[in-house]
Amino acid sequence: MNRPLVFLSLVASLTAGASAQCLTAATGASLQPGLVKWRASDGYASTLDVDDEGLTSPAIALTAFASFPMAGAVGNLDRMWVNTNGAIYLTDSTLGLLQPATPAQYGIEDLTEMRGAAAGASARIVAFGDDIERSAVAGAVWDIAVDQTVPGEVRVTWTDAARFASTTDRFSFDCTLYASGAVRYSYGSSIPADTRYVGISIGNNVGSAASPSRVLTSNADSGSEGLLYQAFTAATWDLSSKQVMLLPNGLGGYFSTVTCAPAFHKAYGTGC
């Protein structure tokens, strides 16, 4: 099967699933069997600066599928760490790591951190590369939940977040990893425009300092480079109320497509 047909069949199968999930609430599945749940406020030890809100979860075994395929990444990616600052790090359990290799300290906010610009740096899924913490808005319930109850899917949801030091932000977003190696990001409607990174990286010093930022809503393609990202500014942020899929392109890199918008309902959007 040639690449165009692979593209069409893969997008069709995954967007069908995405459309079916567009009306799923940002929270509410926390009591389902098999859900691993943790909160940033529960006292888990941070692998980063103790003064930062960037707490990383304990290592979580992937159970919805055996491992996440990423061509060129270090090892068999069967473990993940979820960071409060909108990133997921993936590693091989046999490496015996106590934390991700070369994580970002205050959210993935530059190309060096996006690349994992060091030998052996962990692969990273960056749904929202920004320095975020709990929302201070009345009624907000800061929560990060990991749901592996659907076979072939790992969904991580960040609920009621805020940019560092903001007293007015309250926004939510999620990230779903598929057994195929595809990743879907879904964003609520109330996310403020700002400078931040979004994308996917195999880590391990992939690419170079010249690896370009690409517009994810315009069918971006990274070719053979296992790094696809967009460096947003306040003027270019356009993912609120949208879903974006990043898919392996068959060449070692990734391509992007917008699959559904708006992404959330309840207080975070209107559903599709």
- The pLDDT tens digits for 94-117 are 999 988 999 998 889 999 999 999
- Residue 18: pLDDT above 90? no
Q: What pLDDT, on a 0 to 100 scale, did the predictor assign at position 98?
A: 86
Q: What pLDDT, on a 0 to 100 scale, did the predictor assign at position 57?
A: 86
pLDDT tens for residues 108-149? 999 999 999 999 999 999 999 999 988 999 999 888 889 999
- Residue 246: pLDDT above 70? yes
Tokens, residue 156: 């991580």
What is the rounded distance in angstroms from the CA atom of residue 38 to the CA atom of residue 33?
A: 15
Compare 49 and 183 and report the one with higher pLDDT: 183
Sign for the pseudo-dihedral over CA of 68, 46, 201, 172: positive
Phi, psi angle pair for 5, to nearest 5° = -70, -40
pLDDT band at 39; cut points 50, 70, 90? low
Q: What pLDDT, on a 0 to 100 scale, did the predictor assign at position 142?
A: 86
pLDDT band at 74; cut points 50, 70, 90? very high
Percent share of the chain, pLDDT over 90 = 66
Chain center to CA of 154: 11
- Residue 34: pLDDT above 70? no
Amino acid at 139: G
pLDDT band at 255; cut points 50, 70, 90? very high
> In three state form, how does the secondary structure of the chain look?
CCHHHHHHHHHHHHHHHHHHHCCCCCCCCCCCCCCEEECHHHCCCCCCCCCCCCCECCCEECCCCCCCCCCCCCCCCCEEEEECCCEEEEECHHHCCCCCCCCCCCCCCCHHHHHCCCCCCCEEEEEEECCEEECCCCCCCCEEEEECCCCCEEEEEEEEEEECCCCCCCEEEEEEEECCCCEEEEECCCCCCCCEEEEEECCCCCCCCCCCCCCHHHCCECCCCCEEEEEECCCCCCCCCCEEEEEECCCCCEEEEEEECCCCCHHHCCCC
pLDDT tens for residues 171-206? 999 999 999 999 999 999 999 999 999 999 999 999
Amino acid at 24: T
CB-based contacts of 122, cutoff 8 Å, min separation 6: 74, 81, 89, 90, 91, 97, 100, 101, 102, 103, 116, 203
User: Among 193, 188, 176, 192, which residue's Cα sits nearest to residue 264?
Assistant: 188
For the chain, what is the mean pLDDT? 83
- Residue 91: pLDDT above 60? yes
User: Among 246, 262, 258, which residue's Cα sits nearest to residue 88?
Assistant: 246
